[in-house]
Structure 1
Amino acid sequence: MTALTLPDIAAQATQSSLPLNWVGMCNIALPVQFDGSRLRASADAGVDLDDGNSRGIHMSRLYLALEVFEQQPLTPQLIHQVLGTFLESHAGLSTGAYLQLRFELMLKRPALISPLAGWKAYPVTLSAQLKDEVFHVELNVQLDYSSTCPCSAALARQLIQQQFLADFSDRGLNHEAVFNWLGSAEGVVATPHSQRSSAQLQVRLKEGMNELPIKALIDQAEAALGTAVQTAVKRTDEQAFALANGQNLMFCEDAARRLHRALQQLPWLTGFTLRVEHAESLHAHDAVAHSQWYW
């Protein structure tokens, strides 16, 4: 009996000649190795379909090319290799290959004063493209921080000043009385409002990078802001956090400028786009600022 050849419908010509910009798969469950850990990732993998006469691509070839992420640490070189495999498996059909990986990077962060520490999860998206032999990688990281409104802080200070005049206008001053007044709810009658805020950082890496500097990007951004949200804390840490907020009063515009200047100092990127969002505690809407820079 003659063996039957399985039909390959994707290899058939289409009746409508039209190239497509992106064809592939989204939300592929995938383990990746990064910084000594095995992370659960979600991948989008695709190629363009330059041959408009071809009915489709070979999606299983893209899927199988992703298996290498199980075996080797995640680096720009490995991503370049995978995209090259995408194109080799679609020679004559495609000239561009695309990959996006989404995962959470877990970092253990120390408390500000005490010996406590706790874990924080940072959502990361890695986007890569190989088109006409040009390869580039972009990192997108989200981080949370606290922002105290400078206007609210000034208004609170004014109310405290007014209360001080009201309480001490008819009596003499002495250190103990003022000290006790400053530590009382009757003295400090107002406090500024703060809100949990977030920053989205998307940076393009220089060519020839040997690693993905995700932690370095997070560290640089959190240092610039000065008020990264905390994990495990004692009262000494909470007090130190209150001090950090008081010394880093920020409108969303201030936060965006701080991050912009900090990212410009990183020698391994060629451009970035950033977005900060302050989830207002005074208003029902949020305050947002964008900035970008490219060589």
Structure 2
Amino acid sequence: MNALTLPDIAAQASRQALPLEWVGMCGIALPVVFEGQRLSAKADAGVSLDNGEARGIHMSRLYLALETLEHESLSPALLRNVLQRFLDSHDGLSNAAYLRIHADLLLNRPALVSPLAGWKTYPISIEARLENTVFHVELKIEVPYSSTCPCSAALSRQLIQQQFIDDFANHPLQHADVLAWLGSSKGIIATPHSQRSTAHLQLHLDDFLDELPLIAVINDAEAALGTAVQTAVKRADEQAFALANGQNLMFCEDAARRLNLALKRSPGIRAFHLRVVHAESLHAHDAVAESRWNGVIR
């Protein structure tokens, strides 16, 4: 008895001839490798359907082409290779291929003073596109940090000054008395408000890059802000963190400008869009600032 041929409905002609810009799958679970670290990721894989007569694409071919990501470290070359496999498997159907990878990058970060260290996650997305031999990659990175409001700090200092005037108005100033006052609850009668904040970075990479500069960009961003959130800490680290916040007072506008300048100095970035969000502790709403750079000569 002859085996029946399995039907291929996708190969049938479409009843309505119309090209489609993107067809594929979203949320594919798979492991990826980056800098020797195996990450749990979700991938969106797709191609254009330029042949409007075709009813559909071969999604299983896209799925199988993703297998390479399990064994090789993420790089622009690897991403291009996967996208080329998408197109080769859809010859005559598609001229453009797309791949988005979403994952959490785990980095071990040292404490500010003590020998402690701990792991911190950075949500990342890698978006790659290959269309008519033109290839480009974009990175999206979220960097958490702390921000202390300059206005709140100034108002707090004024209240402390007023309390000092009230407490020493009719008393001669003695070094020991002032030192004791500064160490008491009266010496810190008001504190500035701070909040956990997030920088959302979207980067368009240069075409010549051999590596994805994820860690370098994170390091540059945290250095520019000066107040990266911490993991494991001792009291000395907490004190150093308080000092860092006091020396890096910033509105969301300040943070956006710092990041703009830092990213312009980072090699391999052709253009970027950044968005900083300060989750206000004073208000029930967030303070937000955005900035773009479109590749003007450095």
Q: Give the TM-score band, short-chain normalised.
A: over 0.9
RMSD: 0.8
- Partners of 1:164 and 1:87 lie apart in 2 by 73
Residue 39 (structure 1) shift:
1.1
Task: Supply the AA of the counterpart residue of 2:149.
Answer: C
Residue 208 (structure 1) shift:
2.0
Q: CA offsets per residue over residues 176-235 of structure 1, 9 Å max, x none?
A: 111111111122211100000011011111112111111001000000000000000011
Give the secondary structure class of the aligned counterpart of 2:60: helix
Give the secondary structure class of the aligned counterpart of 2:45: strand
Give the secondary structure class of the aligned counterpart of 2:230: coil
- Partners of 2:69 and 2:155 lie apart in 1 by 54
Q: CA offsets per residue over residues 135-189 of structure 1, 9 Å max, x none?
A: 0001111011100000000000000111111111101011111111111112221
Partner of 1:154: 154
Task: Supply the AA of the counterpart residue of 2:218.
Answer: I
What does 1:1-295 align with in structure 2 at a 5 Å threshold? 1-295=1-295
Give the secondary structure class of the aligned counterpart of 2:236: helix
Residue 4 (structure 1) shift:
2.4
Give the secondary structure class of the aligned counterpart of 1:187: helix
Residue 126 (structure 1) shift:
0.4
What is the number of residues matched between the two proteins? 295
- Partners of 1:280 and 1:71 lie apart in 2 by 43
Q: CA offsets per residue over residues 235-272 of structure 1, 9 Å max, x none?
A: 10000000000000010000000000000001211011
- Partners of 2:165 and 2:230 lie apart in 1 by 37
- Partners of 2:36 and 2:148 lie apart in 1 by 37
- Partners of 2:37 and 2:119 lie apart in 1 by 14
Task: Supply the AA of the counterpart residue of 1:21.
Answer: E
**Misfit runs of 4+, over 4 Å:** none
Residue 92 (structure 1) shift:
0.8
- Partners of 1:108 and 1:125 lie apart in 2 by 19
Q: CA offsets per residue over residues 54-86 of structure 1, 9 Å max, x none?
A: 100000000000011112111110000000000
Task: Supply the AA of the counterpart residue of 1:130.
Answer: L
Residue 3 (structure 1) shift:
3.5
Q: Give the structure-1-normalised TM-score.
A: 0.99
- Partners of 2:132 and 2:102 lie apart in 1 by 25
Identity %: 66
Task: Supply the AA of the counterpart residue of 1:250.
Answer: M
Q: Give the structure-2-normalised TM-score.
A: 0.98
Of the structure 1 ranges 79-88 and 2-11, higher mean CA displacement relative to structure 2 is found in 2-11
- Partners of 1:272 and 1:182 lie apart in 2 by 45
Residue 26 (structure 1) shift:
0.6
Unaligned runs of 5+ in 1: none
